[in-house]
Amino acid sequence: MALTREQIAQRIAQELQDGYYVNLGIGMPTLVANYIPESIEVMLQSENGLLGMGSYPQQHEIDPDLINAGKETVTAITGAAYFSSADSFAMIRGGHVDLTVLGAFEIDQQGNIASYMIPGKLVKGMGGAMDLVAGAKNIIVSMTHCNRHGQSKLLKQCTLPLTGVNCVNKVVTDLAVMEINQGCFHLTERAPGVSIDEIREKTAGELSISGDILEMNVS
């Protein structure tokens, strides 16, 4: 069975390590925050100027001066810091953020990512995505394996305008976990009950499969 959005988030949360500073993109990546293991401490960075983002507030805690990069009201945890957008992107561009998780329309076997613009549709802008992919040490893309027309989103070469080049290390989809290096997708795990044949069929880019491919550990 293909994973749900929550299960993709759950699998990505297994990549978190104690002491990591992490930036979670808008949408599905945000769900990763719900699955941080209790045994570790992670600080969430929100690029509008907050390190140490907490959960959504209770109704009486809502503060218009405290939002995340998706413009949602949030809280700050004990030990949090606020700073300007220039400082925020100094953290990001300077490689101080340990892990960035973001969504994408397409990625390719060179580690390129397209995530902000579909020609012919309204261009809303890249926000902080281009800075995040250029600056993060470690980028995981979270997305469905195919688009709604059933076409693979893991390509030989992206067709949409790029957000960044040679920057994606790993992708977690509803079907598989793959690492990207040396111009190739390397299958490392598959969703429970999903066959390697199905993954091969739905991956348009170069795919390398070696050894036993274990099932992802999600509930």
Partner 1 sequence: MAGFNKVVTSYDDALAGIKDGMTIMVGGFGLCGIPEGLIAQLQHLEAKELTCISNNAGVDGFGLGLLLEKRQIKTMIASYVGENRLFEKLFINKEMEVILTPQGTLAEKIRAGGAGIPAFYTATGYGTQVAQGKETREFNGRSYVLEPSLTADFSLVKAYKADTMGNLVFRKTAMNFNPMMATAGHITVAEVEEIVEPGELDPEHIHTPGIYVHRVIKGQFEKRIERATTID
Amino acid letter, residue 46: S
Q: Which of 47, 72, 198, 206 is catalytic?
A: 47
Kindly tell me which residue out of 35, 36, 52, 70 binds partner 1, with binding defined by CB under 8 A. 70
| Smallest separation (angstroms) from partner 1 to the CB of 170 | 20
With H, G, I as helix, E, B as strand and everything else as coil, classify residue 187.
strand
Establish if 72 lies at the interface with partner 1 (CB under 8 A).
yes
Kindly tell me which residue out of 3, 9, 76, 101 binds partner 1, with binding defined by CB under 8 A. 76
Cβ distance to partner 1 smaller for residue 91 or 213: 91
Question: In Å, how far are 68, 131, 133 from 94, measured between CA atoms?
Answer: 21, 10, 12
Establish if 77 lies at the interface with partner 1 (CB under 8 A).
no
Binding mask 123-142 for partner 1 (x = CB under 8 A): xxxxxxxxx--xx-------
| Smallest separation (angstroms) from partner 1 to the CB of 132 | 8
Tokens of 7: 């299960």
Contact 164, 122 (CB under 8 A): no
Active site residue 179: no
Helix (H) or strand (E) holding 110: none
Establish if 159 lies at the interface with partner 1 (CB under 8 A).
no
Give the range of 84-92, 172-180, 188-196, 202-210 binding partner 1 by CB under 8 A.
Answer: 84-92
Q: What is the SS3 string spanning 154-209?
A: EECCCCCCCCECCCCCEEECCCEEEEEECCEEEEEEECCCCCHHHHHHCCCCCEEC
Q: What is the chain's length?
A: 219
Cα dihedral sign, 109-147-104-38: negative
Establish if 86 lies at the interface with partner 1 (CB under 8 A).
yes
Tell me which residues are annotated as active site: 47
Residues of the shown chain interacting with partner 1 in the complex, contacts defined by CB under 8 A = 46-50, 55-59, 62-68, 70-74, 76, 82-86, 88-89, 92-93, 112, 117, 122-131, 134-135, 161-166
